[in-house]
Structure 1
């Protein structure tokens, strides 16, 4: 359920914001256009949003600033603390993950996440999509921005490129976590009642916009 990576994020919590704004050369391409990526997710979202993987609260802040009501889910206690420092009491951020989480009492029209869905195996990704499909009403949306690849060959080429550049942390990350491909994601969403489209946001990240049919 992605919680096997919690220790990594508890270590990363203090420096995460520096990484996403380009201070870490290895991950510069991964986070290229970071603010634009977050803004795109905000623009595609409805008025009542459930956010998975709040992290330090960067997307949450933009969602709130745009007038949306946000319910946050974040499994890492240090990340929740950083988000609370940034957001105060403007949003309730609860312990949970993509598969185990408290569902709000009011109707949710959009489920969002950035840079987090790859923490799930493909089997877990499909379980999550199935859960959301049962919860969302017709027209409800999933809007994720995350690293994915057009096919397995492109994924393997990116790992090779990282190693050739001496980006060993990035290469290890790509090999350790559960990055998937667009055809696999398209099949999962379609199987559980969603119409999905993909748009590239940088060399690594794709916008996934899935609408419940």
Structure 2
């Protein structure tokens, strides 16, 4: 359920904002147009927004600037501390994509950035199935995450990272559960969503799924 990566995020909390700013050349392409990507997620959202994987609160801050009510869920204590320091008004809970506090009401939009790949494909399917029950009719899921057109493309990108000496990036691509567009399309469609994909940079796609 993604908790196997929790230690990485406890260590990453202090430098996460530097990483998304493109300071580390290995991840510069992954976080290219980071601010634009967050804004696009906000533009696709509406109403009461439930965010998974809040991290240091960058997306939460923008969602609140857009005037949305935001409820956040984050498994890392160190990340929650950073987010709460930035946004003391944010309603923030300990949890992850599969295990989170019961909500008092349904929500209009479920969002996440750079986090859904922490779940295996089976866990992704379980999460989306549960999300369908959290959303109002015509509610939306809006994710931005690294996704590949095919397994062959993922293998090619991993090889290229190694050739460039980007060993940390290559290890990350091998270790975590990055999936493909056909796999995600099948998951969302099977659970009653119409889903679209828009490429935002060479790694990240905007995934917008509307409840049928």
Q: After TM superposition, list the pairs within 5 Å mapping 1:44-63 onto structure 2.
A: 44-63=44-63
Q: CA deviation at 1:181?
A: 0.1
**Quick check: 1:73–1:97 contact (8 Å CA) kept in 2?**
yes
Q: Does 1:172 align with 2:168?
A: no
**Quick check: 1:71–1:104 contact (8 Å CA) kept in 2?**
no
**C-alpha RMSD over aligned residues:** 0.7
Q: After TM superposition, list the pairs within 5 Å mapping 1:53-132 onto structure 2.
A: 53-88=53-88, 90-132=89-131
Q: CA deviation at 1:134?
A: 2.2
Q: CA deviation at 1:96?
A: 0.3
- 1:13 matched residue in structure 2: 13
More strand by share: 2
Q: TM-score, length-normalised on structure 1?
A: 0.98
Unaligned runs of at least 5 residues, structure 1:
none
What is the number of equivalent residue pairs in this alignment?
212
Deviations 1:84-104 (A, max 9, x none): 11112x111100000001232
In structure 1, how many angstroms separate the alpha carbons of the residues matched to 2:112 and 2:28?
20
In structure 2, how many angstroms separate the alpha carbons of the residues matched to 1:102 and 1:154?
37
Q: CA deviation at 1:136?
A: 1.6
In structure 1, how many angstroms separate the alpha carbons of the residues matched to 2:123 and 2:8?
20
Deviations 1:143-162 (A, max 9, x none): 00000001111111100010
Deviations 1:126-169 (A, max 9, x none): 00000011222221000000000011111111000100000000
Q: CA deviation at 1:3?
A: 0.5
Deviations 1:51-108 (A, max 9, x none): 00000000000001110000000000000000011112x1111000000012321330
In structure 2, how many angstroms separate the alpha carbons of the residues matched to 1:80 and 1:95?
8
In structure 2, how many angstroms separate the alpha carbons of the residues matched to 1:9 and 1:105?
29
- 1:30 matched residue in structure 2: 30
Partner SS for 1:112:
strand
In structure 2, how many angstroms separate the alpha carbons of the residues matched to 1:102 and 1:11?
25
